[in-house]
Amino acid sequence: NAGVTQTPKFQVLKTGQSMTLQCAQDMNHNSMYWYRQDPGMGLRLIYYSASEGTTDKGEVPNGYNVSRLNKREFSLRLESAAPSQTSVYFCASSGTSGRDYNEQFFGPGTRLTVL
Amino acid sequence: KNEVEQSPQNLTAQEGEFITINCSYSVGISALHWLQQHPGGGIVSLFMLSSGKKKHGRLIATINIQEKHSSLHITASHPRDSAVYICAVRLIIQGAQKLVFGQGTRLTINP
């Protein structure tokens, strides 16, 4: 079981460039989340997907889009990166039944710098 | 005002000391999570609780729903406990469950 995996681990972009952060989980979880973590602030929810085929905005969705490609994969896209999007991005998943019910499992994070 | 407040923000202690980290929240919740973020950045879930107390090894988490307060205790602290400890409350918003996080408490245990 790899748990939650994210790629890439590090990325440097120039302002205006686009990129997609990939996330996959192998725990058969229904719900998946994208968070950003900035110094001095708690993790903040960007987008989430309660189940395959659905996505919803979180607290800070502006400048991002998401795709729930299938039950395993949930990607985050920055169409035109801005310096304010410099952050560490975490993907997470949670189960809706059984032992993993409502527990959050986090990926290792992606450190993104936008110049 | 943040919905989730942790104290202290930073805590330095000597190995062996009893550690307490506090979390207060201002909204009705369905559950509260304690998470640990290692110096390398990885985040793991320590506890999820909606009432009473849970214990796992040297870690104990308590919650008082009426007072909207939770504590995380570490007994016989060790340098490997050095990490950021994050409190998060689970809310139900428009039918969906979401987590709201505190800013974290940076704990350093010196040998």
pLDDT tens digits along A20-68 = 999 999 999 988 999 999 988 889 999 999 888 899 999 999 999 999 9
Residues sharing a CB contact under 8 Å with residue A8, sequence separation 6 or more, in sequence order? A21, A110
Q: To the nearest whole angstrom, how far is the Cα of B42 from the nearest Cα of chain A? A: 5
Partners of B88 on chain A (C-beta within 8 Å) are: 42-43, 104
How much is the mean pLDDT over chain A? Answer: 93
- Residue A99 scores a pLDDT above 70: no
Check pLDDT > 90 for residue B92. no
Poorest-pLDDT segment among A73-77, B93-97, B106-110: B93-97
Q: What mean pLDDT do residues B80-105 have?
A: 89
- pLDDT tens, residue by residue, B25-53: 998 888 999 999 998 778 999 999 999 99
pLDDT reported for residue A102: 73
What pLDDT digit, counting tens, does each position of A102-111 carry?
A: 788 999 999 9
Helix (H) or strand (E) holding A45: strand A44-49
Please tell me the predicted confidence (pLDDT) of residue B86: 97
> Percentage of chain B with pLDDT > 90?
81
B78 has a pLDDT exceeding 80: yes
Residues of A in contact with B23 (CB under 8 A): none
Could you give the CA distance from residue A58 to residue A74 in angstroms, rounded to a whole number? 15
Contact between A108 and B101 using a beta-carbon 8 Å cutoff:
no
Q: Is the backbone of residue B84 left (phi > 0), alpha (psi -120 to 50) or beta?
A: beta
Tell me: cis bond preceding A83? Omega within 30 of 0 counts. Answer: no
CA distance linking residue B38 with residue B48, whole number of Å? 18
Q: Where are the beta strands (DSSP E) in chain B?
A: 4-7, 10-14, 19-25, 31-37, 43-49, 52-56, 59-64, 69-74, 83-93, 96-101, 105-110
**Is the minimum CB–CB distance between B46 and chain A shorter than 8 Å?**
no
Q: How confident is the model at residue B93 (pLDDT cuts 50, 70, 90)?
A: confident
Residue B41 or residue B85, greater confidence = B85
CA dist B103 → A39, B10, B23, B46, B85 (Å): 9, 11, 10, 16, 9
Q: Please state, in angstroms and rounded to a whole number, the distance separating the CA atoms of residues B74 and B57.
A: 9
State the average pLDDT over residues B57-67: 96
Q: Tell whether the model's pLDDT for residue A101 goes beyond 80.
A: no
In whole angstroms, give the CA distance from residue A54 to residue B52: 34
A58 to B98: CB separation less than 8 angstroms, yes or no: yes
pLDDT for B1: 58
The one-character DSSP state at B66 is T
